[in-house]
Structure 1
Amino acid sequence: MGEPKDEREKFQEELIGLDPHDPETKAFAEHLDRMKRERPGFTVEGYLDGVRDFADSANRTTGHRRMLAVVVVGLILLGVILTIWFALGDIITIIF
């Protein structure tokens, strides 16, 4: 009753009439799996799953959406670098 279904049985109703060996059908099944996946909320694992989903989505997209994802990641990295720079400056000021 509570046993997990394998990949073919999980989305059988949504994939009726589609070739199970077709790459587009497999991609659609993966999309359905991502949509219905339950991840732990408010935990480090949940946040990291969200980052992984963002990275996978950014790698699949092209054009202006990919550039927007690169800009978002660049701004995040810039914020981290500035935070570390100012923290190191404060630490060096306190020590010397």
Structure 2
Amino acid sequence: MGEPKDEREQFEEELIGLDPHDPETKAFAEHLDRMKRQRPGYTVEGYLEGVQDFADSANRTTGHQRLVAVIVVGLILLGVLLTIWFALGDIIAVIF
């Protein structure tokens, strides 16, 4: 199969003429890596990597994009809490 290329070799064509030690160039190479990364489909690991990417992206943003990310996470947590609340209510109703 071959060994995986390091980051510099992998995106050599996209980074022609750019300083490899420049922080912006490194950030761009990381962005390209995230865009081309293949995740395993329909596995827990694949879903968790997606959540990790979302969390990393939300931590890098500022202003109104960060607010939207916080609202999305809050709505997800609210949905989980309501589901647990209604499930506990049904369980208590069945027991008593």
Question: Do both share a fold (TM > 0.5)?
Answer: yes
1:11-22 matches, cutoff 5 A: 11-22=11-22
TM-score, scaled to structure 1: 0.92
Alpha-carbon offset, residue 33 of structure 1: 0.2
Q: CA RMSD in A?
A: 1.2
**Partner of 2:55 in structure 1?**
55
Q: Take 1:68 and 1:6, find their aligned partners in 2: how far apart are those partners?
A: 35
Identify unmatched segments of 5+ residues in structure 1: none
Alpha-carbon offset, residue 8 of structure 1: 1.6
**Structure with more relative contact order (C-alpha pairs < 8 Å, separation 6 or more):** 2
Alpha-carbon offset, residue 29 of structure 1: 0.4
**Partner of 2:65 in structure 1?**
65
Q: Take 1:89 and 1:3, find their aligned partners in 2: how far apart are those partners?
A: 54
TM-score, scaled to structure 2: 0.92
Q: Secondary structure at the match of 2:55?
A: helix
Count the aligned residue pairs.
96
